[in-house]
Amino acid sequence: YVNKVEPAWRSRMNVPFFLRDEGRNEAFLAGAKANGLLQLKGHKSVGGMRASLYNAMSMQGVEALIAYMQEFERTSA
């Protein structure tokens, strides 16, 4: 995963990231949906993915996304 935003300008509320192989985006989103992780598709003008932490996102939700990202990375090589 790649974050193209300069560290000094990164938001604590929106976490944008790109897959190193953007041809895997649809597979990533489909797997995320199957795991109950929704609304990860990035903004249409930017692309990639975006995890929004608004509306009191729980730590459990953040941990579920991390676990999914690690599993996707491990199994989709």
Alpha-carbon distance 25 to 57, whole Å? 23
pLDDT of residue 44: 86
Closest CA to 1 of 50, 57, 46: 50
For 35-71, how does the pLDDT look when each residue is reduced to its tens digit (9 = 90+)? 999 999 998 888 999 999 887 788 999 999 999 999 9
SS3 assignment, position 38: coil
| pTM, two decimal places | 0.89
Looking at residue 77, its pLDDT comes to 67
N- to C-terminal Cα separation, the chain? 13
Nearest to 64 by CA among 42, 26, 35: 35
